[in-house]
Structure 1
Amino acid sequence: MEFQCASIWGVDYNDATSDLGKDQVGYSVQVDTNEGKHVHEFFLALAACNTIVPLVIDTSDPNVKLVDYQGESPDEQALVYAAAAYGFMLIERTSGHIVIDIQGERQRFNVLGLHEFDSDRKRMSVILGCPDKTFKVFVKGADTTMFSVIDKRLNLDIIRATEAHIHAYSSLGLRTLVVGMRELSASEFERWHSSFEAASTALIGRAALLRKVAGNIENNLIILGASGIEDKLQQGVPEAIESLRTAGIQVWVLTGISKKQPYPLATHQSF
């Protein structure tokens, strides 16, 4: 899996034509602009809304560490590596918090709850306690379910632009995910937290209860954007398929089961 492009707040950041191109590793996000704030939230979502575990690896230079990302989902690995490339590097995860190096500044976020992906919702979410004392829910998932929980009363032009970009990415054969978020009021967070704790400790029907709690918090979202990931064929596969076709053998391609693919390690200095 390889991150190729993104649509952020209605702007198509294609890999070859925008500031988020492959050659722009280390791209600086200026959060003092409206566009910059949405770019910031988008990459924060990619770095935080996942189950990836960062592993710190020593190098011969004591001031340089490598961070390898381990996880069951190649999609999540690709997105977390993309976030790291643009200055949002996940460097620590525990059961209760994560630490993200955001353009050279370490920030700690309390992970207050995580609703993992399931085949019914086709999305996942994380509830964070942020350094500025706010509570935010970040959600990512398939466009078929995400647009049903986006608040269409807000920024309809942005939603339509994002839909058009997703269609273009899909036409290129890319795998797409939609990203959204919203800030929670203190009372809203308390209601969610109470329901989440009750569902998490339930002895009967726990999965269904957690799905209901997730559905209640994953709504009225502000759309942040969408990502496009290329699912590359392994070496030799195109030639093998062509040989089969030449031999008159009908070829069917089934997707859904992926083997872990190697990724270049993220580099972090003065760790």
Structure 2
Amino acid sequence: MGIVNATPDSFYDGGKLKSDAAILKQVDQMLRDGAAFIDVGGYSSRPDGTHISVEEELQRVIPVIDLIKKSFEGVVLSCDSFRESVIASALQHGIDIVNDISAGKLDSKILETVGKASVPYIMMHMRGTPQTMKSLTNYDNLLIQMNSYFAERIATARAAGIKDIIIDPGFGFAKTTAQNFQLLKQMELLKSQDVPILAGVSRKSMIYKTLGTNASKALNGTSALHMLCLQNGASILRVHDVKEAVEVIQLFQAIQEN
């Protein structure tokens, strides 16, 4: 899953896509490099990210969705938003997948809307909001509590008519660096939910803080952790760098086949 951030303040590539030409160039390259999905988001969910209005989020994402749909026939588009009104509009503009960092906890109406649309739903584990999550990292047992969270959220989503569910462990969301590595090491325990797992570790602080560098220099570390994600149960990688992620997948598949 290739990431297209229609935001000025995302942690790695915020503000890079300032024109239609830049967006089309990035999406074209991602698709050529092997992306199966393109994920468009207009609300930066990084820790302490700026809260924006629904209107501003819509102004950021809808034109990008329209541009990509118009320019790339058959592209599978996901919209990254926790707001029902944004998702409702994005669905009208042809998105194929909903990616909700809050699993319906920040806007409960979103589950009914997704259920009626009969599209796949990605639900992430998070506590609080992007503005408060750094202070909500106290767990008695991280993986047990995450499994309880997903069991409840999946049941609620199923009750709303959602059939195709993907879970995202939420690396970096209400988790310390140490907890992120614990989660990665034990992520296979989430397979008990019997739904696909999406992993998003691309260029995150768990990598660059550990290596004493920054997001722009975290590609090698990202690739290393992508292999572990696949080994520990991930079915989808959400990435900034599609070519390198696809190479990791190809090597992982070669290991599995031999």
TM-score w.r.t. length of structure 2:
0.27
Structure with the larger RCO, 1 or 2 (CA within 8 Å, 6+ apart): 1
Structure with greater Cα Rg: 1
Structure ranking higher in helix proportion: 2
Structure ranking higher in strand proportion: 1
